[in-house]
Structure 1
Amino acid sequence: MAKTDLQLLYFTYYPKDIYPDVAMALYLVATIVLIVQIVRQKAQFWLYILPGTAFAEALGYLFRELCVHKTTFTLYVLMTLFLLLPPNAMALVNYKTVGKIIGQSSVRSRWFFLRSRFVNWFYFSSDILSIALQGAGGGLMTSRQNREAGKKIVLMGLAIQLFFFACFLVTSFYVWAKSSYSVAMCSCDSSPMWAKRKVLFTVVATTVLLYLRSIYRIIEFADGYGGPIYSAEWAFYVFDTLLIYIAFIVYMAVPLGPHFVRAKTMPSEEAGEVTAPQQVTMEEPKNY
Structure 2
Amino acid sequence: MADEGSFDNPNIDNRLRYFTYYPANVYPEVSLGVYFVVGTILMVQTIRARAAGWVFILAGTAYAEFLGYVFRTVCVYNTTFAMYVVMTLFLLLPPNALALANYKTVGEIIKHNPNVATQRFWLRPRFVNWFYFSSDLFSILMQGAGGGMMTKMSSRDAGKTIVLIGLTVQLFFFACFLVTAVFVWRRPYEVYAGNSSTPQAAKNRVLGVVSATTVILYMRSIYRIAEFADGYGGKIYRAEWAFYVFDTILVFLAFVVYIVVFIGHNFPRGEARQRIDEPKYDESSANLVYN
Residues 281 and 173 of structure 1: CA distance in aligned 2, closer, same or farther (over 3 Å): closer
- Partner Cα separation in structure 1 for residue 227 and residue 263 of structure 2: 32
Q: 1:170 aligns with which of 166, 172, 179?
A: 179
Task: Measure, in 1, the Cα distance between the counterparts of 2:194 and 2:46.
Answer: 14
Determine the C-alpha separation between the residues in 2 that align with 1:108 and 1:121. 20
**1:207-238 Cα distance to aligned partner (Å, 9 max, x none):** 11110000000000000111110000000000
Q: Return the TM-score normalized by structure 2.
A: 0.90
Is the aligned partner of 1:160 residue 2:169? yes
1:235-254 matched pairs, under 5 angstroms: 235-254=242-261
* TM-score between both structures, scaled by the size of structure 1: 0.91
Structure 1 distance, partners of 2:234, 2:23, is 16
Query: What is the SS of the residue equivalent to 1:194?
Result: helix
Structure 1 residue 191: Cα displacement = 2.3
Match of 1:201 among 200, 208, 212: 208
Counterpart of 1:92 in structure 2 is: 100
Tell me which residue corresponds to 2:238: 231
1:186 offset after TM fit, Å?
1.7
Q: Name the counterpart of 2:110.
A: 102
Identity %: 58
Structure-1 separation of matches of 2:144 and 2:275: 42
Establish whether residue 135 from structure 1 lines up as the match of residue 161 from structure 2.
Answer: no
After superposing on structure 2, the runs of 4+ consecutive aligned residues of structure 1 that deviate more than 3 Å are 280-288
Deviations 1:9-45 (A, max 9, x none): 1111100001000000000001100010001000000
Count, aligned residues: 272
**CA–CA separation in structure 2 for the residues paired with 1:53 and 1:250:** 14
- Work out whether residues 108 and 287 of structure 1, in 8 Å CA contact, stay in contact via their aligned partners in 2: yes
Aligned to 2:4: none
- Is the Cα contact below 8 Å between 1:77 and 1:139 reproduced in 2? yes
Maintained 8 Å contact 1:102/1:114: yes
How many angstroms apart in 2 are the aligned matches of 1:66 and 1:158? 27
Paired amino acid for 2:209: T
Kept after mapping to 2: 8 A contact 1:108/1:115: no
Q: Measure how far apart 1:287 and its partner are.
A: 8.4
Per the TM alignment, residue 285 of structure 1 is displaced from its structure 2 partner at its CA by 8.8
Q: 5+ unaligned residues in a row in structure 1: which ranges?
A: 265-273
1:146 is matched with 155
Cα pair 1:183 1:196 within 8 Å, conserved: yes
Which of residues 1, 5, 25 is equivalent to 2:13?
5
The AA in structure 2 aligned to 1:171 is T
Change (3 A) 1:18 1:35: same
Amino acid at match of 1:257: G
